[in-house]
Amino acid sequence: MTGPVANTAEQMAEAMDTVAAFPDAWDAKGKGVKGGKGKRQQHGDQGRKGKGGKGGGKGGKGGKNGGKEELPTERKDELEAQLIALSRGTESSATPRVGDLVEVKVLGSDPQELQGQMGPVLGIASLPSLATPAITVRLPSGETSVSASELRIVEAQRPLPEGSLSFPKSLTGMERKFVHSVCERLGLISQSFGKGDDRYITAFRPAEGSGSSGCEPSAPSPCSPSTTVIDVSGVKLDDESKRALLDAVVVPEGWVSSAERMVVCHGSFQKPKQMDHRSVVPDLLNEIATLRPGSTASLRVVTVARGENTIAVGVLGVPSADRNPHVLVATSPGAHAVVKDLHWKPWQKDALVLTGHLTEWPRDPPAA
């Protein structure tokens, strides 16, 4: 009596293996596993069909959860705690600022018995001989200087500066999807970069007062004439931002510099066209449809990629239908830009914010 049940369980396990991991954060649709039809019993009540194993029968609903795989509660709490800390300015990588309430966490010996004491930051001194700044803190035992690496921010002074948190590449697609959802709830910006095993997600905290969107409304502009066919819409960088970008990124001699624009979507802002098959695309398109040509926009450079023929920077700040929003910096002579196969790396240089205006570029008319 156990033969058919064991076979069904094996079939279910094999099926689960094929759907357990999503290739990236946007492909997770929670589809159930198709249930086995059940095999005829080999003994006993011949002629009656087996119902298949639980969770697999009845059209493959995937058991009690309806086929929706979920992360363990402990893992959700762990990821959410890191994002909450980022939203509050208390992330582990943050450097204390004057006014922050901090707690001492001594890494080595503690002859002064400072471990666990809390107090406000009074001053910061960056010395060439120190790897991290020396922070002057008023503790219950008196004022003292402590290395920034031995302090934990308990409460950050407002307004908060911009910050970021990159998660390791080992996160699964389901975990990245969860991070995206929590970021949206907390008002953080999130973006996945890379492909396959190199794909990772970074959460960004905009500086308080700047808002999470890089667009500032302007006076309504007239819609494009119905006879005008819009090719792409996006952000056209101003001359100052273009110069700043080309100064910050080393372009090989002889390459063709660009640094002109960031494409938001194909088609017009009011009628943006889908660029890929992410499950969030409908929401993105609705958000893009609220953008208006002529509005000012700001983009923060967060990544950079160099390929054999292409250099580009990844940017955030304006909703985009592109999986990896970017500004093309330069291409090698005679080459066409190929961005989808580039390997993205975090931007390590000084913070760079690019500004420009939302623009719609018409399609070139056909040759006569």
Residue 212's CB: how many other CB atoms inside 10 A? 15
Residue spans of the domains in the chain: they are 3-65, 73-89+160-205, 101-155, 215-362
Whether residue 221 contacts residue 269, with contact meaning beta carbons closer than 8 Å, is answered with no
Q: If we measure between CA atoms, which residue out of 278, 105, 91 comes closest to residue 166?
A: 91
The candidate with the shortest Cα–Cα distance to 346, out of 158, 167, 95, is 167
- Selected residue with higher pLDDT from 40 and 102: 102
Q: CB pairs under 8 A, 24+ apart, for 36-41?
A: 36/8, 36/11, 36/12, 38/4, 38/8, 39/4, 39/7, 39/8, 41/1, 41/4
pLDDT higher at 90 or 31: 90
| The pLDDT value given to residue 64 | 44
Sign of CA dihedral 113, 118, 123, 125: positive
* Burial profile 91-102: b = 16 or more Cβ within 10 angstroms, e = fewer: beebbbbeebbb
**Whether 143 contacts 122, CB under 8 Å:** yes
- Six token digits for residue 10: 């094996």
Question: HEC string of 212-274?
Answer: CCCEECCCCCCCCCCCCCEEEEEEEECHHHHHHHHHHCCCCCCCEECCCEEEEEECCCCCCEC
Q: 14-23, 41-50, 183-192 — which one is most confidently predicted on average?
A: 183-192
Q: What is the mean pLDDT of the chain?
A: 78
pLDDT, position 33: 36
What is the rounded distance in angstroms from the CA atom of residue 148 to the CA atom of residue 69?
41
Q: What is the pLDDT of residue 209?
A: 55
In this model, does residue 20 exceed pLDDT 60?
A: no
With a cut of 50, say whether residue 2 has pLDDT above it.
no
The residue ranking higher by pLDDT, 206 or 228, is 228
What's domain 73-89+160-205's superfamily in CATH? Answer: R3H-like domain (3.30.1370.50)
Task: Among 215-229, 263-277, 305-319, 335-349, name the one with the lowest average pLDDT.
Answer: 215-229
| Distance between CA atoms of residues 317 and 219, nearest Å | 20
CATH-assigned architecture of domain 215-362: Alpha-Beta Complex (3.90)
pLDDT above 80 (res 5): no
Q: What is the pLDDT of residue 198?
A: 82
**pTM of the model as a whole:** 0.58
User: Which H or E run contains 16?
Assistant: helix 3-19
Kindly state the tokens that stand for 8.
Answer: 């069904």
Identify whether the C-beta of residue 133 lies closer than 8 Å to the C-beta of residue 95. Answer: yes
